């Protein structure tokens, strides 16, 4: 059975408890790094976060926030970079955030290997 089509926990009131249903949906698909970080934080307490992330990984979602992770061009990225050339300190921070993103995926059982989900550098 596909993770994306796994049965939902029927004890969860899907419409009432999902942040993506309470707030503006455009927040999860914003071009602004700040707004995407806000969407990620709202996903933290979502009862369907793991299922949402699993489905997004399986579908290789092209972009947006899914299950508390940012997807860009079908890959999980630790944060969305603003336009332009990144500063050296931003590159170092991105490397640290990349390790954290890999750890979160591994902890949720979604990335047993790097081939399971493509992580963008």
CA dist list (Å): 89 to 65, 94, 95: 24, 9, 10
Per-residue model confidence as pLDDT tens digits over 41-68: 999 889 999 999 999 999 989 999 999 9
Domain region containing 75: 19-113
For 16-117, list the strands marked E by DSSP.
63-66, 69-72, 75-77
Instruction: Please indicate, yes or no, if residue 14 is contained in any of the structural domains.
Output: no
**Residue tagged 């890999």 (tokens):** 102
pLDDT at 15: 58
Asked whether residue 5 is assigned to any structural domain, the reply reads no
106 domain-assigned: yes
Residue 34: inside a domain: yes
Digit-coded pLDDT (tens) for 96-109: 877 877 787 777 77
Q: Which tokens belong to 111?
A: 């990335």
Residues 73, 62: contact at Cβ < 8 Å?
yes
Backbone conformation region of residue 77, classed left if phi is above 0, alpha if psi is from -120 to 50, else beta: beta
- Please compute the mean of the pLDDT values over residues 17-38 and round it to a whole number: 89
- Binding-site residue positions: 20, 43, 46, 52
When comparing pLDDT for 54 and 7, which is higher? 54
| Residue list, annotated binding site for [4Fe-4S] cluster | 20, 43, 46, 52
Asked if residue 121 belongs to a domain, the reply is: no
Half-sphere exposure of 48 (CA within 13 A, CB side): 23
Number of domains, the chain? 1
Q: What is the pLDDT, as a whole number, of residue 40?
A: 92
Query: Is pTM, for the whole model, over 0.75?
Result: no
Give the rounded percent of residues in the chain with a pLDDT score beyond 70: 73
């Amino acid at each position: 059975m596909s993770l994306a089509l796994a049965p939902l926990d029927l004890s969860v009131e899907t419409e009432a408890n999902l942040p993506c249903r309470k707030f503006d949906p455009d927040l999860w698909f914003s071009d602004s790094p700040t707004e995407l970080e806000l969407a990620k934080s709202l996903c933290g307490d979502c009862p369907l976060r793991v299922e949402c992330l699993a489905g997004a990984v399986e579908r290789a979602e092209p972009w947006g926030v899914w299950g508390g992770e940012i997807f860009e061009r079908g890959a999980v990225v630790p944060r969305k970079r603003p336009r332009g050339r990144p500063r050296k300190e931003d590159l170092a921070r991105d490397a640290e955030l990349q390790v954290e993103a890999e750890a979160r995926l591994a902890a949720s059982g979604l990335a047993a290997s790097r081939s399971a989900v493509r992580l963008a550098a």
